Amino acid sequence: MKGGIAAMVAALVALHETEALEAGAVSLAVVVDEEMESIGAEHLMRSGIVADGAIIGEPTDNRLTLGHKGLEWIEIELIGKAAHGSMPQAGINANVAAARFVQQVQDRLIPRLQSRSHPLLGAPTINFGTIRGGDQPSTVAAT
């Protein structure tokens, strides 16, 4: 996002140098950690900042975009029962449960979300970005 930040800083400098802003105030908020936990955006929201609008410097193929779908991080832990890989019947495989869960979301929930389409933003989306499970290849995954 260095390009977006540079463009916003240049716009603020131009506003200041040309005295083009006749009323109001402009603030620049450059937040960190957008791709992982959004701690910068969370801090900004908790700070109590109030604005009439916002410009987000996210690349959009040079198209103006009015809106944002938002984001929710959800962590799901499925608990199984460990067993040796030679006796999987003695365990409960959390990886298999995770695969079944993902398939249920794909088959049942995502089609329902398509009916909730927003005129500008489209339908809500779900992404399974990371799945972790098991300790080693020779055991049934307990988590």
Which tokens is 105 given? Answer: 């979301």
Name 140's bridge partners.
83
State residue 59 phi and psi, 5-degree precision: -60, 130
Active-site residue identified among 17, 22, 34, 58: 34
Decide if 42 is catalytic: no
Is the CB of residue 84 less than 8 Å from the CB of residue 90? yes
What is the C-alpha to C-alpha distance for residues 12 and 141, in angstroms, rounded to an integer?
Answer: 54
Catalytically annotated residues: 34
